[in-house]
Each structure stands twice: as structure tokens, then as C-alpha cells.
Chains A and B, each alone.
Chain A
Amino acid sequence: GENVEQHPSTLSVQEGDSAVIKCTYSDSASNYFPWYKQELGKGPQLIIDIRSNVGEKKDQRIAVTLNKTAKHFSLHITETQPEDSAVYFCAAHNNNDMRFGAGTRLTVKP
């Protein structure tokens, strides 16, 4: 089955700096790669996603890149703000289910 690994597990940045979170996946058949943000006591919420026929996607301060050959994808947050502080999960979709990484706790210090 699919295996998703995510790094780093924790990340602390200064407000205004960029943050990068990286994930690798094992199954080359996976074709959809979302990123979710989870705040304390809440369920994960989708922030951006990318499909396997696209190499990069951007939405304001958030961007995701996908390298199918290397089977890795990354989340980039620019001009970070304190409200970006949360746990971020990458995921890979194959067939019926979505497999998640272990998460990255991002702290943005004012």
C-alpha cells in the first residue's frame, strides 16, 4: 500500500519568513496530492491540492510543487503570519483511499 513520509515534524519560523514542508510517497499510481491544515481541536481542512498532471500550483501565499519522477511534493508558504501556526498534513490518493503523512507542526513567531 501507499506510504507517505513527511518532514520536518516541527518547524519554527519568524513572521514574514518562508516555510517549506516536504513529503515523499511510495506508490507511483497515486494521482492526487492535497495538503491539509489542522488547528487545535478541529478536523483537518484542505488548503491546496495538486494532481499528477501538474508540476506546480499556487494560491496567494501558498504553493505546492510535485516531482512525479522522484515521488515527492512540497508545500511552500511565503510571508508567514502567526495565524499560519498549525499542524500541516500532506496526503497521497490512490484508488479508494487517502494516506496521510505524520504532520508538521508549524510555529510562526511574531
Chain B
Amino acid sequence: GAGVSQTPSNKVTEKGKYVELRCDPISGHTALYWYRQSLGQGPEFLIYFQGTGAADDSGLPNDRFFAVRPEGSVSTLKIQRTERGDSAVYLCASSLKGMMAGELFFGEGSRLTVL
């Protein structure tokens, strides 16, 4: 059975460029989360989707960050005008229970490096 799949696994870009990170959740999981993890830190919440809608986007650091989940399955995290401080591992997780609080299944992450 497939777990949460994230692509690319590694992305190196230049300051100012636009990047997209993709997450393919476990089939049937309606809840999807994006987290950002800096070196030596715990995952930092960015945004939570329940189905197609963003139920909570309070963790997005600024308007350069945006995420979509148009069909309630695959999600894309989009970062405009990247900055060196955006360098981190971006983790996606999906869950069956969503707001009811249950196990999050994480992907292996997309490591973003902004030069």
C-alpha cells in the first residue's frame, strides 16, 4: 500500500524564483496537512485541508506561500519569490480523521534549498 508521496524529494532554486511542491496523500484520507521543518526543529504547522477547502491556513508565514487541493486529493504548496529563509524540509501529512484528531501519516518531505 502506498503511503504519502512527496515530489520532488530535493529542490534547489535561486532566490526570487517560484517553486511548487507536490503531495499525494493516502487514498481515502480527507485531511491533509503541510508542515515546514527547519534543521533541529519540530515540524511547524502551515496549512490544513479538509477535502478541497483550506480549513486553517493560519500557519502560512506570508502571502508568498499558497496551497491548493482542487480535487480533494493531491495538494500543491506554492512559494513565490523564494527567499533564503524559506530553505527547509516541507512535510506533508494526511489523516483519516481530520478534525477528530488521529494519526498523521507523513511523507518523507521535500527538501528546499534557496541559494
Q: Point out residues on A near B: beta carbons under 8 Å.
A: 1, 4, 6, 31-32, 34, 36, 41-46, 49, 51, 89, 91, 93, 95-103
Instruction: For the complex, give the distance between the alpha carbons of A103 and B39 in Å.
Output: 11
| Sample of 15 further A-B pairs with CB below 8 A, known A100-B35, A100-B43 | A1-B58, A42-B108, A43-B93, A43-B109, A44-B91, A89-B42, A93-B101, A96-B48, A96-B56, A97-B45, A97-B59, A98-B45, A100-B45, A101-B42, A102-B40
Q: Chain B nearest CB: distance from A3 CB in Å?
A: 12
Q: Contact flags (1/0) for B77-115 with A, using CB distance below 8 Å?
A: 000000000000001010000010111101111000000
Q: Given A89-B43, A97-B33, A103-B42, A32–B108 Cβ distance below 8 Å?
A: no
Contacting pair B41 A43 (CB below 8 A): no
Interface size bracket, B side = 20 to 34
Contacting pair B106 A43 (CB below 8 A): yes
Contacting pair A43 B42 (CB below 8 A): no
Interfacial chain B residues near A97, Cβ < 8 Å: 33, 45, 48, 56, 58-59
Q: Is B68 an interface residue (CB 8 A)?
A: no
Interfacial chain A residues near B44, Cβ < 8 Å: 100
Which of B4, B43, B99, B101 is most buried by chain A, counting CB atoms within 10 A of its CB? B101
Q: Contact flags (1/0) for B26-58 with A, using CB distance below 8 Å?
A: 000000010100001111110010100001101
Contacting pair A100 B42 (CB below 8 A): yes
Q: Chain B nearest CB: distance from A75 CB in Å?
A: 14
Instruction: For the complex, give the distance between the alpha carbons of A101 and B67 in Å.
Output: 24
